[in-house]
Structure 1
Amino acid sequence: MKSGLFAVLPLLAIPAFAAESTASPPVIVAWREKPPYYYTEDGVEKGFMLAYGKEVFAAAGIDAHFVREPQKRIWANFEMRKPNYCSLSWYRLPEREAIAQFTIPVYTDPPHTILVSPASAAKVQAHASLASLLADPELTLGVVDGVSYGADLDERIARAGNQTMRRTVPTTNMILMLAANRFNYMLADRNDWGHMRAHYKEMASVIQYDVPDLPPGLKRYILCSRTMPASTIERLNQAIRALPKPATPYK
């Protein structure tokens, strides 16, 4: 009797194991710390694009697990073609198209703005255009290294006649260095600046300056690994079409 029972047990275990192996794992959706788009505050996840991203995946009926990861790790995962992997929300650039799939646009940024150190107001505001500003060899432009300002601004920064101070730091740190007069000016995401100005009293001395030839804001997209099925991208696209776009918090 015992031998018959033990002979049946392995057979009973096989269907259960098979059911587990065929269950689809959740899609990992990575986001980096970039307030007010996505960030943590007092241990709570916040951000208007993080909330919108969760709505998109839910509306698409896709089981998703949202995780915070450093920017370099996100791009390394795309380069390695990590399966079941997406990220919120990025500009569309040629080098990114080679390693990731893009949904339709989820958001359009407001134009970048110019931030000026307290001691440099007269020097910077003597220029009535971005073209003139970028051509001045007496000015030092601060650049957050390792990020894109969009293809147009990236190219113009690369060709600038300014001296350039590049630092691999968060934007917050770069603006604090600007407030301390470490360099003359920088370009900034208007939403980033609006959030930081409201949360850091040390930035009160920084001057915002706009010129007419700042390029229009760029579109942002959800990116997924090259191994993601096309059907999943289409489900995301359908959800994006159906949902209202997120409102811009700062203009």
Structure 2
Amino acid sequence: MNQRALLAGLCSALFSGAAWSAPATLTVAWRDKPPYHYTEDGMAKGFLLERARSVFDSAGLTVRFVNEPQKRIWANFQHGATNYCSISWYRLPEREAVAQYSQPLHEDLPHTVLIAPGMANRVKAHTTLASLLTDPTLTLGAVEGVSYGPALDAMIKTSKNQIMSRTVETTQMLRMLTVGRASFMFADREDWEFFSAKNKASQSVVRYDLPDMPAGMKRHIVCSRDVSQETMNKLNQAIAATGGTNNPGHSKPTK
């Protein structure tokens, strides 16, 4: 075979994909949850979004990040989306049924209780979480469709409080609390610190920490079942190489 024929054969193989094919692009979805990941002035921001970008970059993966609502993200997993990942999720049995989990990306602090204006004395009359959840005269504001962690989810389900459940973002529930739509709510401490720094109305809300609040949960990257074990291994190695769960955002969220 002469040199011209050899080169022609190599080019044909390359263009046909026989010798090489580009790796599939992963779609990485994130939902609005400031200060973890959110949009401000048209820019995607957030300490955990930045960390996730660093992890995927360190893993050498081709990705595109998209902002999608929580319900759509999990509907995509349930309906068999391919080459699809999402960031910052608790490990729950119903989610493990439709997606595979990375090693922990971040570890939350325990939730805090936020008390509506004028309700501090009635809520603080309870010195434990167990006692607080037995009071039928108080209204608990809960964001529908999110998890507060398995332990707290179970306690909310059996609570004697009146439950005001709404399909809203956490920041919207926080605003509802400031105008007294509920007596109290549970919140991530990072969520509250970010919200209170930006909203004057939050000054009337009282933060209350209880001794029997469940420990903070770990957050993971989740991917569709078709994503290869090799890719998951790369993600886990990148998470470990970039600090595991010990990242700056844990104690000092981006404002």
Task: Name structure 2 gaps, 5 residues minimum.
Answer: 1-10
Alignment match, 1:169: 168
State the Cα deviation string for residues 107-162 of structure 1 (Å, max 9, x = none): 10011000001111110000000000000111111111111101000000000011
Residue 23 of structure 1: CA displacement? Answer: 2.1
Q: SS of 1:61's equivalent?
A: coil
Residue 50 of structure 1: CA displacement? Answer: 0.5
In structure 1, distance between residues paired with 2:31 and 2:111: 20
Alignment match, 2:196: 197
8 Å contact kept, 2:14–2:20: no
Q: SS of 1:22's equivalent?
A: coil
Alignment match, 1:182: 181
Residue 44 of structure 1: CA displacement? Answer: 1.2
Amino acid corresponding to residue 109 of structure 1 in structure 2: D
| Residue 246 (structure 1) aligned with residue 247 (structure 2) | yes
State the Cα deviation string for residues 76-107 of structure 1 (Å, max 9, x = none): 11112211111111000000010000011111
Alignment match, 1:3: none
State the Cα deviation string for residues 45-71 of structure 1 (Å, max 9, x = none): 110010100111111111111111111
Alignment match, 1:231: 230
Residue 16 of structure 1: CA displacement? Answer: 2.6
Residue 176 of structure 1: CA displacement? Answer: 1.3
Call closer, same or farther: CA 1:21–1:74 in 2, change over 3 Å: farther
In structure 1, distance between residues paired with 2:173 and 2:38: 18
Call closer, same or farther: CA 1:20–1:181 in 2, change over 3 Å: farther
Q: SS of 1:161's equivalent?
A: coil
State the Cα deviation string for residues 190-216 of structure 1 (Å, max 9, x = none): 111110001111211111011100111
Amino acid corresponding to residue 177 of structure 1 in structure 2: M
8 Å contact kept, 1:33–1:40: yes
In structure 2, distance between residues paired with 1:207 and 1:20: 63
RMSD: 1.8
In structure 1, distance between residues paired with 2:34 and 2:145: 17
Alignment match, 2:155: 156
Amino acid corresponding to residue 194 of structure 1 in structure 2: E
Call closer, same or farther: CA 1:15–1:243 in 2, change over 3 Å: closer
In structure 2, distance between residues paired with 1:194 and 1:17: 54
Alignment match, 1:128: 127
Deviating 4+ runs (over 4 angstroms): 12-15
In structure 1, distance between residues paired with 2:233 and 2:24: 19
| Matched positions, count | 240
8 Å contact kept, 1:114–1:187: yes
The two structures have a TM-score, normalised by structure 2, of: 0.90
8 Å contact kept, 1:27–1:65: yes
8 Å contact kept, 2:85–2:222: yes
Amino acid corresponding to residue 246 of structure 1 in structure 2: N
Alignment match, 1:5: none
Amino acid corresponding to residue 123 of structure 1 in structure 2: R
| Residue 91 (structure 1) aligned with residue 90 (structure 2) | yes
Amino acid corresponding to residue 103 of structure 2 in structure 1: I
Amino acid corresponding to residue 208 of structure 2 in structure 1: Y
Give aligned-pair identity as a percent: 51
Q: SS of 1:231's equivalent?
A: helix
In structure 1, distance between residues paired with 2:132 and 2:65: 41
